[in-house]
Structure 1
Amino acid sequence: MTEIVNKMRSGDYFVDPSFQRRLVWNEKQKVRLIETVLMEYPMPEIYLWEQAPDPQSGSQKFSIVDGQQRLSTLREFTSNEWPLKKAYLDEENAEKDFADCFWKDLDADTRSKFFQYSINARRIPSEVSDDDIRQMFARLNETDRSLNPQEMRNATLNGEFLAAANSLADTDEFLALQIFSLDNIRRMGDVEFASQLLGYERKGIANDTPKTMNELYNEFNDDYSEAEIDKANVSKSLKLVNEVFLDEEIEAFFATQNYVYTLHSLFDVCEEKPADQWRAGLLGFVQAYAGLPANDDDVKEDQKSLAEFRKGASSRTRSKSSRTQRLFGLKNWLAQNFPELIEDKDS
């Protein structure tokens, strides 16, 4: 344990973000791991990929292939980042001396026992290729279904489409949306949504299932020559989204992944208009939508576009049909009530 903690602090054990998942453990999971160590129960072995030694000093670094969450948790706890909250401990340990303690509060015997804990590490030779390491990481995590589809793509692919999606998710326009929870970001939900928007640029409105997203990644993995153009188009659209979100009522309604996708597709098919004009139209839509009767039988003729939008919002949200219903429900209502706003690019 002493060697592992020291190497984590020094960076000799490191995480390669090009295939590793983001940290996703919550506080309870972290406390339970430290409890496991203090109870001297075993934990699964970790996998370390040896890097080529420095030819001058002979020092060597190791990429963590499997065990990132556990090793990061050990480093965090011994750096006094959080305590062993009693509420997360087993009942038999809730009254022990280490309950509610930070690392610095543990007595010398407990810390000594902690450092004597043995963790089995399997070392993978540096000659093993990067592609093989990616496949190994994916296989290790696939068995317990701990990776979601986007994390699997991040683990197994290293191509141009993934790079573009990661780059888009880091832009100011994308980050300003603030439509992702911290856990969603950790699980790469932001990168997946960026992938959907880039997919729209290539394919138009489409079904975004795990299968179709994998096909999109495979198609543009090696050659995505339009990446910069697509990212610029999406960023321009998201800049306009953020500008219309200056109206709190509009933001409260549209600030979800599904509705941002709808706005992006709306701005794409219509002629460019200033943000203040879009705000006027979208605010009118939000207020009219609030007055839509709950029963479709009570919907009036001039509310049918609103009902179409609602139908698309209540069905499979990432399907082509529901996305199309949302787009044209919104677009048709705006065309009826703000005709100066809606001009098709092809008209």
Structure 2
Amino acid sequence: MLTVFGNFKGTYKMSLNSIIQPSRPTVSQIVEQFRKKDMFVDNSFQRRLVWTERQKVRLIETILMGYPMPEIYVWQQPADADTGKQQLSIVDGQQRITAMTQFVTNEWKLSKAYLDNEAAEYVDRPWKDLPDAIKQQFWDYVINVRTIPSNVDAEQIKAIFKRLNETDKSLNPQELRNAEFNGTFIKLAETIADLPQFGELRAFTDHQIRRMADVQFTSGMLMFLRRGLLEETITTINETYDLYNDQYEEAEQDLAAVQEFLDDCYNIYFCNGRVRSFFSKQVHLFTLFCVDQSLKAKGANRDPVPAKLNSFVETYEDNPNTSEIIEKYREGASSRTRSRASRALRLNNLMKWIVET
């Protein structure tokens, strides 16, 4: 049984670092393993692919220039009892391995705009157009790989991944959160973010989606259903993930509530393109969701809502100084939009517009 450093108080415990084995495989070996699924990405803690084309091109240039790249960490899986086949889970290095594999399948070229050596023979060329000598140089490049034994458990692997990346500014809090939690709550948030009705709102840019901003947003929707109107901070999100990581009995109920809301957006609330455009923006979409849930909880008649939303948008955009309700809502939408106070301002005043005006 592997023993690692815990809360060290003078008693010697085996260091995890001491049993991680170094090796130096070539790009050829790594790409082949990845293609054959002998090396794979574990989505239970890994993040989405986020590298831009510039980052990919510069990685390949690093290889072709013979410069070193950071170590890759893999986790050895238990061997198949019958065949002895043993897979490797990528702990740290997903972006690099994927970029190398994409390059040799001609998914992008080595754009001159991203290269330091603009006179190199490989400038603006995809893989298929490179000379054989350069291809051979690429395949022969060696990478430092550290292999973690299979008797290290999954929780330790997640801790390693988080530790490796927590000082990397390219990882945001939601991506680190994805590495730490893999229970029902985050999986449901990801399921909602992947719903076609949610994607069709176009509330998030491709870059924001790669950085999991959409998953953080849908997590906020689920937080509202479970805990009401909260200040959305790293602490409150992590608390909620932890609270519902192992047991989330209302998951199906909450999924149905969000799906019904999305259907209502298209079938009821979005009475015209202007209303849809306004309430597809993240800050207003979240407010509309809270209002929708509040109206349903009160059993209120929603027939007048489309017309009320239309008049709200028209006043907000065309005659903002004619309504105190609009001004208060605008205040709640102008700064610290994830604070409880700002959310309450928006929710209360949009509700007031719908119910009282």
* 2:312 paired residue number: 285
- Work out the percentage of aligned pairs sharing the same amino acid: 46
| Root mean square deviation of aligned Cα | 1.6
Indicate the SS of the match to 1:166: helix
Query: What letter is aligned with 2:252?
Result: E
Query: Could you tell me whether the CA contact under 8 Å between 1:241 and 1:263 is conserved in 2?
Result: no
| 2:35 corresponds to 1:9 | yes
Write out per-residue CA displacement over residues 57-106 of structure 1, whole angstroms, 9 at most, x where no aligned residue. 3222111000000010100001111000011101xx11221000011111
Q: 2:170 aligns with which of 146, 154, 158?
A: 146
Q: Which deviates the most, 245-254 or 308-317?
A: 245-254
Distance 2:300 2:208 in 1: 32
Structure-2 change in CA distance of 1:177 and 1:272 (3 Å): farther
Distance 2:319 2:336 in 1: 21
Distance 2:271 2:200 in 1: 11
Alignment of 1:74-223 (within 5 A): 74-90=100-116, 93-223=117-247
* 2:248 paired residue number: 224
Indicate the SS of the match to 1:14: strand
Write out per-residue CA displacement over residues 86-129 of structure 1, whole angstroms, 9 at most, x where no aligned residue. 11101xx1122100001111101111111111101101111110
* 1:44 paired residue number: 70
Shift of residue 202 of structure 1? Answer: 1.1
| 2:278 corresponds to 1:258 | no
Query: What letter is aligned with 1:308?
Result: K
Query: Could you tell me whether the CA contact under 8 Å between 2:308 and 2:353 is conserved in 1?
Result: no
- Gap regions ≥5 residues in structure 2: 1-26
* 1:269 paired residue number: 294
Distance 1:159 1:134 in 2: 13
Distance 1:6 1:57 in 2: 19
Q: 2:351 aligns with which of 324, 327, 331?
A: 331
Indicate the SS of the match to 2:332: helix
Distance 2:240 2:106 in 1: 44
Shift of residue 272 of structure 1? Answer: 5.2
Distance 1:139 1:51 in 2: 21
Query: Could you tell me whether the CA contact under 8 Å between 1:292 and 1:307 is conserved in 2?
Result: no
- Gap regions ≥5 residues in structure 1: 294-298, 338-347
Aligned length: 327
Shift of residue 216 of structure 1? Answer: 1.2
Indicate the SS of the match to 1:33: helix
Shift of residue 273 of structure 1? Answer: 4.6
Q: 2:56 aligns with which of 12, 22, 30?
A: 30
Indicate the SS of the match to 1:11: coil
Shift of residue 175 of structure 1? Answer: 2.9
* 1:343 paired residue number: none
Query: Could you tell me whether the CA contact under 8 Å between 2:305 and 2:354 is conserved in 1?
Result: no
Write out per-residue CA displacement over residues 112-157 of structure 1, whole angstroms, 9 at most, x where no aligned residue. 1111111011011111101111111010001223321111111011
Distance 1:41 1:290 in 2: 54
Segments ≥4 residues shifted beyond 6 Å: none
TM-score by length of 1: 0.90
Query: What letter is aligned with 1:313?
Result: A
Query: Could you tell me whether the CA contact under 8 Å between 1:307 and 1:329 is conserved in 2?
Result: no
Indicate the SS of the match to 2:90: strand
